[in-house]
Amino acid sequence: MPDPSAVTVERLKKRFGQRTAVDGLSFSVAAGEIYGLLGPNGAGKTTTLRVLAGLLRPTEGVARIDGVDVGSDPRQAQRHLGFLTGTTGLYGRLTAREVLVYFGTLQDMPRPRIAARIDELTAVLDLRAILDRRCEALSSGQKQRISVARAVIHDPPVLILDEPTVGLDVLASRFLREYIGAERARGKAVIFSTHYLAEAELLCDRIGLLYQGALLAEGRPRDLRAQAGDATSLEEAFLRLVTDLVAA
Amino acid sequence: MNLPHVSAVFRKELRETLRDRRTLTVMFLFPLVVYPLVSLLMAEVMAGKQATDEARTSHVALVDPDPASRATLAALLDKKGNGIEVTRDVSLAQATGLDVSNGLIDAVVEVAPEKTAAKAKAAGPLPVRIVYDETRPISDQAHDRVTKALDSVLPNGCFQSYAVTGASLATKTKVGGYVLSKILPLIVVIMTMLGAFYPAIDITAGERERGTLETLLSSPVQRFDLMTGKVLAVAALSLLTGVLNIVSMSLTVAEGARLAAGSPILAIPWPRAAATLLIVVPAAFLFGSVMVAIGAMARSFKEAQTLLMPVYLLCFTPSLVAGMADFRLTGLTMLVPGTNLTLLARDLMLGEAHLLATVIVMASTIGFGAVALAFAARLYDSERLLSSTDADLVSLSAWLRHLVSRPAAPGSPEATGAPPVPPSAGQAVALFGVAFVLWFFAFTWLQRWNLIPGLMISQWVGFLGLVWVYARLCRRPLGDVLVFRRPAPLALAGAACVGLSGWIILGILADKVMPPPREVVENIRNLIHPPGGSRSLALSVFALAVTPAICEEALFRGAILQGLRRQFSLPVSCLLTGILFGVMHGDVWRFVPTTILGVLLSWVALTSGSIIPSMLVHVLNNGVLIVLGYYGLDQAGDNLSGRASVLILGAAVIFMLGGLAAIRRAGRQTPAATGA
């Protein structure tokens, strides 16, 4: 039985001034599960993930990472998660190894543990050829592999990935998907946000469809298709559900 | 050339730039405020220094064995206008260079017996030697004055009566230290600042621009730890720049002097130059913290540069003033950032630094740096950095309104035509900026042209008109902007007490903290009551008391204070408004008392919940001084005994405290009091 307490979001609200970006959102992600957060631009995906990553404070509601309340103790929550976005930057004038050591230190990892973890990640993510090169000299795919390594250097139980495949070519995207799948197999809870619905269908165990800051529908990909009147794809299901909502 | 394309690009770039409030403020408003302020400050300080130098009397000892010759020389030197006083202290009748070195006398004017005899034989000019210390400004001034006084004496045949030679007591090392003390402190402070400039931008705005900020902030590191690390890195680079400058500048001066003179005319006091390194550590920390804090506000490298340039100039000014004005490192000067470091570096180089002053300067600088660091840590909050966004500014009118008000969010009361939102701190600062620009570039010119009409136009059309325009742009009633409400009678009574006693306390304070030069006091007296009595008392009271009490209060205690109160606590709002009020008066010597008066008026307005009591305090404060000046009683206090002064001050303090207590009590009974 997967542990249901890896990520819990309850009636989460986030306002910026008078604009409500997230409006009473609730969902949970179990350990060993990939949860897809899908929706159009401005649906509140990035805001939700930033709240979960301890970057933004919730206006109302609760978000817990591995049992830690993000709102009241964001630093402690950040020890239990790895956060990665498609636009995550790396320090161009540092080598990949220096970046990993830096973030490992910020996670309070002892130096031998960091070195051992870099060795593990070098094997898993194929970093050997790029580890001692400056990040500014790396390709987009190579940079994203280093970013993944940076996000998981402390081997967190929860991974938050905000459109991690943006700008990557087919091979790099597939490599990343395979890695995420492997992490699920290791018992990690993964929250995955993407624009590519086909990618989400391929990877996610469950999907939450986000629209105007609230959940429009939630379930396994095939259940969502059924819910939308046996849609042939997740994209079609999403469009039908949104159309029904607007019409109502 | 495709003109439509050029035009399209031109319009787009202009529109995009004009919609960026911060760039716009820094690009236009800030230079218009900061540069006049800096020039005003420099001019005031230099004028004050010149007045002080001229007013100072040079004390010289005259050593001449021939009584007749001595009497002639003493009469020449003592002549009014020379600024010289020949000492009558018998213990200094045979003064030597040692007495000059010890500071007992500024210079010794010597006529040797053999020289007197030689003069009698040759009938030529009498050789006179001035023993002085060129590295002491007072002694150097005495040398210049004696030389000038004796050189100007021409007998009937137009031959000079005296052949004056100077003999400086300063050793080559002392001269080297003196030369370095004139240039090194300022350069070290400026270069230390410059050393912090780009690293501070790179690690703050650069981090944000390169997209690494989100990555970093998702790590479990406390913001204060993060900023401390960043500030220390910037400070280390800044420190390196400062040290390199001290070493390089010392070597350059020594070598430059050798090349110019062909032989070494000065020597570098290396231990003192090394001691000067002491200031680089707190300087690097202070400038590193300030620049990192400013950089943390910026969204991009370009914006950080735009923001930091005026700050650089503002940080640079106190050091420049210190370098030029040659202040002594005492009292409040020890606490003025930049100025204190420059003066300490000078004293260290001259070997004149005192331990207590050194400790106070170092501690206060580190203290200021720590405050800036705490501020930077507060600014480096992911909530602010990741959610800040500029408003939807489309039309020119929206942009104009945006300049003075917060942008209206879609669906907000402003956007839907409902009652407008209350004032903001941004509006208050923008309003002050506009008022300052008007004051500096137009009003001062108007007042120089003709004081009373110029003052009337500046105050009624300028300040009050500006508040009216502001109220119109914000779509708020003028009475609402001014907080023009009927106050409680008790608040009015309290305000009367404060107004009648404040001028005494502030006047004594001004004399104690920063006594203005005599010329400045005379100018103010002439302004209040022109010589010859050409202005009636009623006109003076209306122009100089009633008018500012209404118009300045409308601007400062109305629009500006209410805006600042939205964002800051009551004490901070009062302090900020007081400082802006002090700055607007554009007088260095009156800055401290005017600022305190501004703080007091702000407290009265907020506590009573109405602008009318602060207007009453203002009109009484100015009015009493005008009436006293009119009847020639304003200098009566100068002749009072110490005991009488203390009694009057004590009575004034009691009167003021009573007034403040009454206002506070009245405010507690008024729901709208204390603002917010």
- pLDDT tens digits for B449-478? 778 888 888 898 889 999 988 888 877 888
- Per CB-CB distance under 8 Å, the chain A contacts of B220 are 54, 75-76, 78-79, 106-108
Ordered strands of the A158-162 beta sheet: A81-85, A158-162, A189-194, A34-38, A206-211, A214-219
> Which residue of B215, B218, B412 is in closest CB contact with A89?
B215
- Contact (CB<8Å) A53/B409: no
- Contact (CB<8Å) B383/A18: no
pLDDT digits (tens, 9 = 90+) for B15-34: 777 666 666 666 666 667 76
CB B348 within 8 A of CB B276: yes
Query: Hunting for tokens 């040290």 — which residue is that?
Result: B243
Position B392 pLDDT exceeds 60: no
- Contact (CB<8Å) A18/B386: no
Nearest residue in B to A77, CA atom: B220
Size of interface A-B (CB pairs under 8 A): 66
- Contact (CB<8Å) B217/A55: yes
- Per CB-CB distance under 8 Å, the chain B contacts of A55 are 214, 217-218, 382-383, 386
Rg (CA), chain B: 30
What does the alpha-carbon distance between residue A163 and residue A167 come to, in Å, rounded to a whole number?
A: 10
Nearest residue in B to A55, CA atom: B382
Q: Which of B381, B6, B319 is nearest to B183 (CA)?
A: B319
What does the alpha-carbon distance between residue B410 and residue B287 come to, in Å, rounded to a whole number?
A: 41
- Per CB-CB distance under 8 Å, the chain B contacts of A91 are 210, 212
Query: Hunting for tokens 């109160």 — which residue is that?
Result: B565
Q: Which two tokens stand for residue B423?
A: 């004032």
Q: Which of A194, A163, A159 is nearest to A180 (CA)?
A: A159
DSSP H or E stretch at residue B503: helix B489-513
Nearest residue in B to A56, CA atom: B383
- Contact (CB<8Å) A90/B219: no
pLDDT of residue B406: 44
Q: B415 at the A interface (CB within 8 A)?
A: no
- Contact (CB<8Å) B220/A76: yes
How far away is chain A from the Cα of B334, in angstroms, using its nearest Cα? 39
> Which residue of B220, B222, B387 is in closest CB contact with A16?
B387
Position B528 pLDDT exceeds 50: yes
How far away is chain B from the Cα of A112, in angstroms, using its nearest Cα? 20
Position B404 pLDDT exceeds 60: no
- Per CB-CB distance under 8 Å, the chain A contacts of B219 are 78, 103, 106-107
pLDDT of residue B153: 66
Q: B156 at the A interface (CB within 8 A)?
A: no
Percentage with pLDDT > 70 across chain B: 83
Position A17 pLDDT exceeds 80: no
- Contact (CB<8Å) A56/B387: yes
Where would I find the H helices in A31-110?
45-52, 74-78, 96-106
pLDDT band of A1, cuts 50, 70, 90: very low
In terms of average pLDDT, the best of B45-59, B253-267, B636-650 is B45-59
pLDDT digits (tens, 9 = 90+) for A208-217: 988 888 888 8
Q: Which of B317, B307, B343 is nearest to B197 (CA)?
A: B307
Mean pLDDT of chain B: 80
Query: Hunting for tokens 């940079």 — which residue is that?
Result: A143
Position B133 pLDDT exceeds 80: yes
- Per CB-CB distance under 8 Å, the chain A contacts of B383 are 55-57
Q: A93 at the B interface (CB within 8 A)?
A: no
Cα B482 to chain centroid distance, Å, stands at 29
pLDDT of residue B286: 93
Mean pLDDT of B570-575: 91
- Contact (CB<8Å) B220/A85: no
Q: A19 at the B interface (CB within 8 A)?
A: yes
CB B286 within 8 A of CB B365: yes
DSSP H or E stretch at residue A7: strand A7-16
Angle at B270 between CA B264 and CA B275, to 5 degrees: 150
What does the alpha-carbon distance between residue B336 and residue A190 come to, in Å, rounded to a whole number?
A: 55
pLDDT band of B116, cuts 50, 70, 90: low
pLDDT of residue B396: 41
pLDDT band of B75, cuts 50, 70, 90: confident
In terms of average pLDDT, the best of A51-60, B108-117, B629-638 is A51-60
Q: Which of B115, B259, B105, B112 is nearest to B169 (CA)?
A: B105
B301-325 vs B270-297: helix crossing angle, rounded to 10: 140
Q: A79 at the B interface (CB within 8 A)?
A: yes
Q: A94 at the B interface (CB within 8 A)?
A: no
The model carries a pTM of 0.67
What does the alpha-carbon distance between residue A7 and residue B51 come to, in Å, rounded to a whole number?
A: 73
Residues in contact with B601: Cβ distance below 8 Å, sequence separation at least 6, in sequence order:
B553, B556, B557, B578, B581, B614, B617, B618
- Per CB-CB distance under 8 Å, the chain A contacts of B386 are 50, 55-56
Phi-psi label, residue B162: left if phi above 0, alpha if psi -120 to 50, beta otherwise:
beta
Mean pLDDT of B189-218: 87
DSSP H or E stretch at residue B436: helix B425-438
B339-350 vs B301-325: helix crossing angle, rounded to 10: 50
State whether residue A237 is helix, strand or coil. helix
Nearest residue in A to B383, CA atom: A56
How far away is chain B from the Cα of A92, in angstroms, using its nearest Cα? 9
Position B372 pLDDT exceeds 60: yes
Position B113 pLDDT exceeds 70: no
C-alpha torsion B572→B573→B574→B578, nearest 10: 100
What does the alpha-carbon distance between residue B439 and residue B545 come to, in Å, rounded to a whole number?
A: 18
- Per CB-CB distance under 8 Å, the chain B contacts of A83 are 214-215, 218
In terms of average pLDDT, the best of B173-182, B309-318, B363-372 is B363-372
State whether residue B110 is helix, strand or coil. strand
How far away is chain A from the Cα of B560, in angstroms, using its nearest Cα? 23
CB B339 within 8 A of CB B327: yes
What does the alpha-carbon distance between residue B210 and residue B545 come to, in Å, rounded to a whole number?
A: 56
Best mutation target among B202, B210, B212, B215 (most A Cβ atoms within 10 Å) is B215
Q: Which two tokens stand for residue B210?
A: 């390169």
Task: Output B412 or B480, whichever has higher pLDDT.
Answer: B480
- Per CB-CB distance under 8 Å, the chain B contacts of A88 are 211-212, 214-215
Ordered strands of the A19-29 beta sheet: A19-29, A7-16, A60-65, A68-69
- Per CB-CB distance under 8 Å, the chain B contacts of A158 are none
Best mutation target among B219, B421, B424 (most A Cβ atoms within 10 Å) is B219
Percentage with pLDDT > 90 across chain B: 16
- Per CB-CB distance under 8 Å, the chain A contacts of B213 are 89
Phi-psi label, residue A212: left if phi above 0, alpha if psi -120 to 50, beta otherwise:
left
State whether residue B613 is helix, strand or coil. helix
pLDDT digits (tens, 9 = 90+) for A132-182: 999 989 988 899 899 999 999 999 999 999 888 887 788 888 888 899 999
- Contact (CB<8Å) B219/A103: yes
CB A84 within 8 A of CB A163: no
What does the alpha-carbon distance between residue B676 and residue B668 come to, in Å, rounded to a whole number?
A: 15
Q: Which of B150, B86, B54, B33 is nearest to B441 (CA)?
A: B33
Angle at B114 between CA B87 and CA B143, to 5 degrees: 40
pLDDT band of B243, cuts 50, 70, 90: confident
Please identify among residues 367-396 of chain B the ones whose CB lies closer than 8 Å to any CB of chain A.
Answer: 382-383, 386-387, 389
> Which residue of B213, B218, B409 is in closest CB contact with A53?
B218
